[in-house]
Structure 1
Amino acid sequence: MPSDGFNPALLPAGLADLLPPDAAREAALVEAMLAVFGSHGYERVKPPLIEFEEGLLAGSGAAVAEQTFRLMDPVSQRMMGLRADMTPQVARLAATRLRGVERPLRLSYSGQVLRVRGTQIAPERQLPQAGIELIGADSPVADAEVAIVGVEALARVGVEGVALDITLPAMSPALLDAAGLAGEERAALARALDRKDEAAVRALAERAGPPAVFLPGLLAAAGPADAALRALDAVALPPAARAIADNAAAVIAAIRAVMPALRITLDPVEFRGLRYHTGVAYTVYGPGRTGELARGGRYMSGEEPATGLTVYPDAVLRAAPRLAEPARVLVPVGADPAAAAALRARGFVTVAALGAGDSAASQRCTHVLRDGEAVADPASSGAAAPFQTGADGAPSFTGAGSALSGKD
């Protein structure tokens, strides 16, 4: 430790190191999901980590302005921002560098974002993101496609049994507009809706009169999509709100046409997520207590309609099954390089000994290269780990590879 007493392992709040093998697992999960995105025609883009704040915070980027770190560029003497979300950057690319490409435009991305503050539930401030944006299409089928591709990508990395929760961020404002509410009366009812305070919503809505009186019933209608849609159908909604409800029904029907077994819930008057969403918004929840894995929804990409989904790889890492890792084989000094290359071609990881003091145990290897083959080393700490064969026939093992993770 330095003489001033500072511990170099100490990091700012909300930032963390990701150690072996979890760093490799997260990278593999991201690549697997991007491969699914690519198979559906979503082409990868890579925007920069930092941009001039005028571009970064324009349009949908204004919704994350308070979460954006800013600094002065010593070269241009202009203010720059570190991205807090990648969707506004993809919107910028679509409106500028890719403006001449035929629509609809399908783009995918991955990268790190940095936010000024975390939350009590999610204190992390540096987050990995991976996602897709479908730009230039305004239809329920487009919204459904993004949700379907996201669920398929999660299934590819082993996350099954997810639930899709759909919210309608424009529904409450449409009813409040139709009721003619403004000022403190509108703000009070909006706060009650955010808190899910049914008694307060009922009292305030009755005072406001039609069509705000529909809000308590819609608040109670949240739950399985079929029941929520029936509750919406039973209400004489004003035209703008009815269009929102009908669009939600069409999105759900399009999703079920492809994924009939997917569990879908609908909350007509709740909204979670970034405030640039203008149509249906959705959150993908993992099985059990794994929490939110992805969020998305409809928004405006500049002057174009768009819909997208952002997946959170750190959450997916916690939800995905821990697969068997490749067996590590110590290659002794002087061993045949061709034999080691042959093992790598079969799926092994080889670790070259750099001196006589390197042992299988010290290098966290379960096997040693002898006579051209990987031989289990009983002196290794991982020798007792179950030896398995992966789906592709490559040898693998579980247990020894997690020695550095600090998590297991």
Structure 2
Amino acid sequence: MSNSSSSALLPAGLHDVLPLEAAQEAAAVERLMAECAGHGYERVKPPLVEFEESLLTGSGAAMASQTFRLMDPVSQRMMAVRADITPQIARIAATRLGKAPRPLRLCYAGEVLRVKGSQLRPERQFTQVGVELIGPLQPEADAEVVLLAARALDGLGVRHLSVDLCVPTMIPLICRGLGVPEDETARLRAALDRKDAAGVAAVGGAAADLLGRLMDASGAADRAIAVLTSVELPEAAEKDRRRLTEVVRLLHATRPDLTLTVDLVEHRGFEYQTGLSFTLFARGVRGELGGGGRYRAGSAGPENEGEPATGFTLYMDSVLRAVPAPAGPRRVFLPHGTPAAEAERLRADGWVTVAGLEPAADAAAEAKRLLCSHHLVNGEAMAAR
């Protein structure tokens, strides 16, 4: 391998974003931020690196295995590179904005770095865009963030969007309410992860039949909610049932066209969520576009600590796979010596201008070489043939 080839090699999961795609991502991020701002969400910008003990406490502890660490040569303390921005927003809300009026609406956009990717999403560095709604407990807050995520993606041109709802706390509460031993609960959850009906039945016990029915009911939201409301649940799980049912009602009322599914037994990937959660998908697009749900902002211990919060995060690498390919900008080549006023006029009309830095014998050929669709002739943009 040549030295130039070797120097261009990047670690697995990392890649350069080249022209058109980089411009498309930047434009998409700003459009998403504008949509969030229009709904009252104020933008914040946390740092890329923090001290390990602040970044990996509370909800951030769930990302510990995905976090790169390094030594700060100034303080001689361990620092961590963020693998997710949500814990940083929770820290800001609990500290710098601790006295700000609630509900607190914040939004953000920034890069994250992870130790490893997944099979569906092998990227290790990507841009996150998201919102956090901190303070309220009402189902209306859950519905707000789902609807905002859907509206923001609609605005980018994402088609065939679906929202998959789940309540990852429900299964542990059901098992606990029915007195299922911890080892049996672990086997049930492993079988549910595989969607293994025979495995759930084989475990037996007080919860096996109920969990089997809930697993079978997962799918279209109306069917799942109908089954959920027809079964008898332990009192501990009633709060989760009521919230999920009400949020589905609110979503249907506001966006009857939005495709909703419900997975009544899902919990993987929602390690720090404390209630209703969701994942965003688009038909035919690899990987999830984003996700979110309930958590405790500022919590460093049990779930009853910290403020109630909900929000969503969009993964821009996946989002851009779900939107139409960008059209190239209108680029016009300006021969050497073109007056600055002419260039200003063209840019005001929406052109991208590329100035010649020396005289060219064939302006049309030079325009094509520089990937310009037009060149300037006597003050007019002419197609470069």
- The TM-score normalised by the length of structure 1 is 0.89
Aligned residues: 374
Contact 2:285–2:318 (CA<8 Å) still a contact in 1? no
Aligned to 1:332: 335
Any idea what the Cα deviations from partners look like across 1:2-54, whole Å, max 9, x if unmatched? Answer: 65x86111001111111111011011111111110000000000000000001
- Alignment-derived partner of residue 105 in structure 1: 104
Answer yes or no: is the 8 Å Cα contact 2:201–2:208 preserved in 1: no
Q: Are 2:39 and 1:36 equivalent residues in the alignment?
A: no
Q: Aligned residue for 2:19?
A: 20
How many angstroms apart in 1 are the aligned matches of 2:67 and 2:237? Answer: 33
**Residue 309 (1) aligns with residue 312 (2):** yes
**Is 1:297 matched with 2:297?**
no
Which residue of the partner structure matches residue 253 of structure 1?
A: 249
Determine which of 258, 264, 281 is the counterpart of 1:268: 264
Which amino acid is 2:250 matched to? A
Task: Specify the SS of the correspondent of 1:278.
Answer: coil
Aligned to 2:232: 236
Paired with 2:380 and 2:286, the residues of 1 have a C-alpha distance of 41
Post-superposition CA distance 1:306-344 (Å, at most 9, x none): 001000111111110124332100011011211111110
Q: What's 2:352 paired with?
A: 349
Compute the displacement of 1:111 (Å).
0.5
Equivalent residue letter for 1:279 = G
Give the Å deviation of 1:108.
0.3
User: Does structure 1 conserve the Cα–Cα contact (< 8 Å) formed by 2:294 and 2:309?
Assistant: yes
Structure 1 Cα separation of the partners of residues 275 and 168 of structure 2: 7
Matches within 5 A, 1:355-374: 355-357=358-360, 359-374=366-381
User: Contact 2:332–2:351 at 8 Å: present in 1 too?
Assistant: yes
1:59 is aligned to 2:55: no
Question: How far 1:288 sits from its partner (Å)?
Answer: 2.7
Choose 138-147 or 272-281, whichever is displaced more.
Answer: 272-281
CA contact (8 A) 2:120 2:286 kept: no
Paired residue type of 1:180 = G
Give CA deviations for 1:253-312 in whole Å, capped at 9, x if unaligned: 112222111010011111242411111110111133344111100110021000010001
The answer to whether the Cα contact below 8 Å between 1:64 and 1:274 also exists between their aligned partners in 2 is no
CA distance, structure 2, for counterparts of residue 23 and residue 93 of structure 1? 29
SS at match of 2:271: coil
SS in 2 for 1:230: helix
- Structure 2: gaps of 5 or more residues: 299-305
Cα distance in structure 2, aligned partners of 1:347 and 1:326: 9
* DSSP 3-state at the match of 2:257: coil
2:138 and 2:188 map into 1 onto residues whose CA distance is 31
Deviations 1:213-236 (A, max 9, x none): 300000000011110011011111
Alpha-carbon shift at residue 86 of structure 1 (Å)? 0.2
**CA offset at residue 360 of structure 1?**
0.3
Amino acid at match of 2:231: V
Residue aligned with 2:32, SS: helix
Which residue pairs with 2:321 in the alignment? 318
- The DSSP-based 3-state class of the residue aligned with 1:199 is helix
Distance in 2 (alpha carbons) for counterparts of 1:31 and 1:9: 30
How much has 1:248 moved relative to structure 2? 0.2
Taking only aligned residues, the RMSD between alpha carbons, in angstroms, comes to 1.5
The SS at the match of 2:369 is coil
Q: Please name the residue that 1:398 is paired with.
A: none
1:181: how far off? 2.4
Q: Is the 8 A contact 1:340 1:369 kept in 2?
A: no
Deviates more, 1:60-69 or 1:116-125: 116-125
1:123 CA displacement? 1.3
* 1:212 positional shift: 4.3
CA distance in 1, matches of 2:183, 2:263: 25
**Cα drift, residue 178 of structure 1:** 1.5
| C-alpha contact 1:157 1:320 (8 A) present in aligned 2 | yes
Q: Percent identity?
A: 52
How many Å apart are 1:58 and its aligned residue?
1.1
Rounded to whole Å, the distance in 1 between the matches of 2:232 and 2:254 is 31
Distance 1:272 1:37, change over 3 A: farther
Match of 1:387 in 2: none
TM-score by length of 2: 0.94
1:191-230 pair list within 5 angstroms: 191-204=190-203, 206=204, 208-209=205-206, 211-230=207-226
Deviation by residue 1:35-82 (Cα, 9 ceiling, x = unmatched): 100000000000000000010011100010111100000000000000
Q: Which runs of 5+ in 1 are unaligned?
A: 379-408
Q: How far apart are the structure 2 equivalents of 1:254 and 1:183?
A: 35
Q: Is the 8 A contact 1:273 1:295 kept in 2?
A: no
